[in-house]
Amino acid sequence: MNALTESLIELIRRTSAEIPDDVQRAILTALENEKKGTIAESALKIIERNIELAKQKSQPICQDTGSILFYIDCPVGLDQIEFADAARAAVKQATKVGYLRQNSVDSLTGKNDGTNLGPGAPAFHFHQHRGDKISVRLVLKGGGCENVGAQYSLPNTKLNANRDLDGCRKVILDAIVQAQGKGCGPGILGICIGGDRATGYNHSKEQLLRMLDDTNPNPELAALEADIVKTANELGIGPMGFGGNTTLLGAKIGAANRVPASYFVSVSYMCWAYRRQGCELNQNGEIQNWLY
Amino acid sequence: MIALEFPFTEEKVRALKVGDEVALSGRVFTGRDAVHKYLHEGGKLPEGVSFQDGIIYHCGPVVLKDENGEWKVTAAGPTTSIREEPYQWQIIRDFGVRGVIGKGGMGPKTLEACREHGCVYLHGIGGAAQVLAECVTRVINVHMLEEFGSPEAIWELEVKDFPVVVTMDSHGNSLHADVFKSSSEALAARV
């Protein structure tokens, strides 16, 4: 097994078993903010204990180890075919040792061959740059939260949402109310305003690569992000939809150009078990440092 | 915390109310999308398996074989239950199920079946796969592993002090319906 495959197995292990520090801090704050003696507080206590236990045992935080999404920033000239082969070997091995559940099903036959490999699985997003660094980010996105993602086409008459930021706000908040309970809250939203249906969802997922405590460089989007989190936390949905003070841990919004006829708002919901990790690799494929 | 122990009789289940925190001990059967669809379409439970006075757990666990060839559950949190809404009422009615463990709650058909036949919906903490796996003390058996694959198979598990919250009881109450209503009203006041 080559160094790159070994590094990627370690990336998968760490992503599956260890929640990033920024997310854990946000969960601790949520726990402090819930009323003592409520079922919301009990839920967050179990979540907190689960995070500790998964890390200590080096086992999946959540049994749904999700869609496996690789985001690779690489220098021009990196052999992407070779990289993807190494990543597939890593996924297969990580599944064998239980860092990943046997989680990939043939959509036509319903068969699960237990390898997590198949058409579209895992998914790769390569981005070239002019530097010499290779960074690999990995998101494991569970099905429960993926199922409550939503894409709105504006204008939306039912929600009285027009083609402006207020319209975006309305549909995003609607997505939060619809997702309650099902998406394992408190959640984190990745959102894209614009794009086509495919690029919009893709861009919304890339927003989930941002740090929870960063600030959007666009002041209008930064204000919308803050407003979404504040308003969502006033709705009383709470952890697991049990009622309570923390419904969202964060909202990250990006924008992509659209054609004049279309105006999509794509919302990707991430559960509290926010499994994202990343590392920089050296030329030999060894891990140099962690990104989160 | 209320201790709920096997056998899960109608009387024990009827005593539970929305908001109760319960520590569950005894035997549970996992069953999710494939199992529910199969039973709904008239499929038979494997020989020797009975859901009578039993509990179905909406869960696709990570299960590995240890060096002695014994199954070991290494991650076992609940999956989203609403997908079983078209089937659950019928399975409660026909198989004598007393409890359904899952997450996210279920709809009016299931709530009505809980009321009519004496069953409760027990909400696990979604994503808490390790805490919940620690509560699985033994894999008693596995059924339909070949047909459905590991996450979708019927795993017969023994659990001890498995923490759940009653969010739908046998008296027509649903925490999910209540929170959905109040949060929708709160949103309407803010848009």
Are residues A105 and B149, on separate chains, in Cβ contact within 8 Å? yes
Task: Name the pLDDT band for A23 (thresholds 50, 70, 90).
Answer: very high
Interface check for A53 against chain B (CB to CB < 8 A): the answer is yes
User: A240 touching B, CB under 8 A?
Assistant: yes
Q: Which residues contact A166 (CB under 8 A, 6 or more apart)?
A: none
User: Domains of chain A: which residue ranges?
Assistant: 3-15+61-142+275-290, 144-270
Q: In A, which residues are within 8 Å of B61 by CB distance?
A: 63
Pick the residue from chain B with its C-alpha nearest to A112.
Answer: B149
pLDDT at site B75:
87
Q: pLDDT under 70 in chain B at which residues?
A: none
Q: Which of A98, A177, A242 sits opposite B74 (nearest CB)?
A: A98
Count of structural domains within chain B: 1
Q: Which of A53, A57, A59, A63 to substitute to test the interface with B, most B CBs within 10 Å?
A: A63
* Chain A residues within 8 A of B19 when measuring between CB atoms: 39
Closest residue to A273, CB basis, from B34, B127, B183:
B127
Helix (H) or strand (E) holding A270, with range, is: strand A264-270
> B191: distance to nearest CA of chain A, Å?
6
Yes or no, beta carbons of B179 and A237 under 8 Å apart: yes
Q: Is A169 on the interface with B (CB under 8 A)?
A: yes
- Name which of B61, B74, B103 is nearest A184 (Cβ-Cβ): B103
Nearest alpha carbon to residue B78 among B131, B40, B115, B137:
B131
pLDDT recorded at residue A27: 98
A274 contact B CB<8A = no
pLDDT digits (tens, 9 = 90+) for B116-153: 999 999 999 999 999 999 999 999 999 999 999 889 99
In this structure, the strands spanning B55-57 and B99-102 are parallel
Q: Which residue of A has its CA nearest to B133?
A: A63
In terms of phi and psi (left: phi > 0; alpha: psi -120 to 50; beta: otherwise), the region of A108 is alpha
Chain mean pLDDT for chain A: 97
CATH value at residue B169: 3.20.130.10
Arithmetic mean of pLDDT, A166-184 = 96
Measured between CA atoms, the residue of chain A closest to residue B145 is A112
A194 bridge partner residues: A256
Confirm if B133 and B163 have CB atoms less than 8 A apart.
no
At A118 the pLDDT is 97
Q: What angle do CA A23, A27, A33 make, to 5 degrees?
A: 145
Q: Please list, in sequence order, all residues whose beta carbon lies within 8 angstroms of the beta carbon of residue B69, skipping any fewer than 6 positions away.
A: none
What H or E segment, with its residue span, contains residue B50? Answer: none
pLDDT at A110: 87
Taking only Cα atoms into account, the Rg of chain A, rounded to an integer number of angstroms, comes to 19
CB contact under 8 A, A181 and B64: no
Write out residues 197-226 of A within 8 Å (CB-CB) of B: none
Residues A241 and B24: their CA atoms lie apart, in Å, by: 21
Whole-angstrom distance, CA of residue B150 vs CA of residue B61:
8
- Percent of chain B exceeding pLDDT 90 equals 91
Domain containing residue B150: 2-188
What's the average model confidence in pLDDT over A55-59? 96
**How confident is the model over A16-38, as a mean pLDDT?**
97
Q: Is A155 touching B (CB cutoff 8 A)?
A: no
In tens, the pLDDT along A90-107 reads 999 999 999 999 999 999
User: Under an 8 A CB cutoff, do A240 and B59 touch?
Assistant: no
Kindly tell me if the per-residue pLDDT of A1 is higher than 80: no
Q: How many CB pairs under 8 A join A and B?
A: 158
Q: Is the peptide bond before A155 cis (omega within 30 degrees of 0)?
A: yes
- What tokens appear for B74 in the block? 């290494």
Q: Which fold has domain A3-15+61-142+275-290?
A: 60s Ribosomal Protein L30; Chain: A; (3.30.1330)
Say yes or no to pLDDT of A49 above 90: yes
Q: What residues of B are in contact with residue A243 (Cβ under 8 Å)?
A: 175, 178-179, 182
Task: Report the catalytic residues of B.
Answer: 36
